[in-house]
Amino acid sequence: MKAGLHNVSDPLSLRSSVAFVVDQETQEVLLSKNEDAVLPIASLTKLMTGLLVSEAELSLDEMITITQDDVDTEKFSSSRLRVGTTLSRGELLHLALMASENRAAHALGRTYPGGLQVFVEMMNAKAQLLGMSDTRYVEPTGLSSKNKSSARDLALLVDVASEDPLLREFSTSPAYQVAVGRRKLMFNNTNRLVRNPTWEIGLQKTGYISEAGQCLVMQAKVAGRKLIMVFLDSAGKLSRLGDAERVRRWVETIPAKAPVPVTQNQADARSPVFF
């Protein structure tokens, strides 16, 4: 299926097999490519994890200890947060969003009121509430390829998450240091564009597992417009960032459409603009 998606061409020659770019304020679709394809989303999952934790208004100062339950037994990925490490919920949320820390994300779901199963149920309920009909979650990290969504659904999630000041701050900070016992660990953002002064990024999340390819979602201001960008199943580690750059340069060359008041009949007759 994914091979077929890569055969679909687009005017910008993007390396991502799925792309969706929409003006957040006017809802104008600027670019769409396989936007309804349902694919594994890897660590883009953590955006929903973060949204639920933030909206629950749980204490960010509460201390949480990483346990054996948080160790990845699916992909056997490594983590700098050893079993027994104790950090605050706020620190874990920061690391999950910024550095895509898997044990941090799992611990956030595990310590949610009601436990992990309730948390996953809440993830799916929230997705349905937001109109994300192509989306399904089975765990809070994205390590499972059973966590799936479409670019169109993910744009809905980014739209909501970008209104949350905590998610904006934590997902876009370039680096973050935590104290683990006597040691201090420095973590860096998985998206190097947050360090690029030519970008104005309000929210971002990267993702990668082999089944999903390289993924990226962002809310960013380009040429005075607030855009939501979604790139899934990109070919190489840097190609998702290259695709974002290509989209940005292209948007800077096209005029923004001024919102025009329309009657309800006109609105019903309109179809989305696709390029």
Q: Which of 100, 144, 149, 150 is catalytic?
A: 100
Please report, as a single letter, which amino acid is at residue 47.
L
Residues 6+ apart with CB under 8 A from 253: none
Kindly calculate the radius of gyration of the chain based on its CA atoms and give it in whole angstroms.
Answer: 19
Q: Specify the length of the chain in residues.
A: 275
What secondary structure, in 3-state letters, does 70-92 show? HCCCCCCCCCCCCCCCEEEHHHH
Distances, alpha carbon 39 to alpha carbons 11, 162, 209, in Å: 22, 22, 12
Whether 43 is catalytic is yes
Q: What is the rounded distance in angstroms from the CA atom of residue 219 to the CA atom of residue 272?
A: 20
Task: Indicate the angle between helix axes 102-110 and 89-98, nearest 10 degrees.
Answer: 140
- First and final C-alpha spacing in the chain: 23
Which token pair is 191? 């998206």
Determine which one of 16, 17, 32, 46 is catalytic. Answer: 46
**Tokens of residue 121, six digits:** 């149920």
Examine the residue annotation and report whether 173 is marked as an active-site residue of this protein: no
Distances (CA, A) of 133 to 129, 166, 233, 236, 250: 9, 26, 20, 29, 30
Catalytic residue among 16, 32, 43, 144: 43
Active site residues: 43, 46, 100
